[in-house]
Amino acid sequence: MPEQIFKIHSVIEMEDLGRQIGLRLGAGDVLLLQGELGSGKTALTRGIGTALGIFEVSSPTFVISKIYQGVIPLVHVDAYRLIGKEFAIFDDLDLETRIPQSITVIEWGNGFVERLGDSFIKIAIDFDEDPNSRVVAIKGLEI
């Protein structure tokens, strides 16, 4: 499946793209979100949550993982604080048991998401020349 590129101009557009993504996801899907701080990873996840009937998605940076109940449960992981740590901390999240019945979104998950299998959707968010715009590249899911 070819990579798809989207140009996003606002937080509202990022959440809208997230909703479009969320409508195409099913239980067992795992997403790797890549992007610098402030690029829009949580806004995209908020949109995914909205598609699942979840309206209170926030960043799990300080708690590492949050689980939201919706049409399909949403597991939202922020692995930023785990970078450079032992894999055991990530493994303690016990995501493998939740994946089959949930949608799992992992921010800062390079090196971690691969521990869950080789099938995941990769979404990279980059800053554009305009500081208010982002370029979103999606691989593994057709929008």
Q: What is the pLDDT of residue 12?
A: 97
Q: What is the pLDDT of residue 3?
A: 95
3-state secondary structure of 111: coil
Q: What is the pLDDT of residue 122?
A: 96
Single-letter code of the amino acid located at 13: E
Domain map (residue ranges) of the chain: 4-139
| Nearest-angstrom CA–CA distance, 73 and 125 | 24
Q: What is the pLDDT of residue 75?
A: 93
Give residue for tokens 């019945």: 101
Ranges of the chain with pLDDT below 70: 61-63, 81-93
Q: Say what the pTM is.
A: 0.89
Q: Give one word for 131, left, alpha or beta, with left for phi > 0 and alpha for psi -120 to 50.
A: alpha
Q: What is the pLDDT of residue 104?
A: 93
Q: Output the CATH code of domain 4-139.
A: 3.40.50.300
3-state helix, strand, coil in the chain (%, to 5): 30, 25, 45
Q: What is the pLDDT of residue 86?
A: 65
Q: Give one word for 85, left, alpha or beta, with left for phi > 0 and alpha for psi -120 to 50.
A: beta
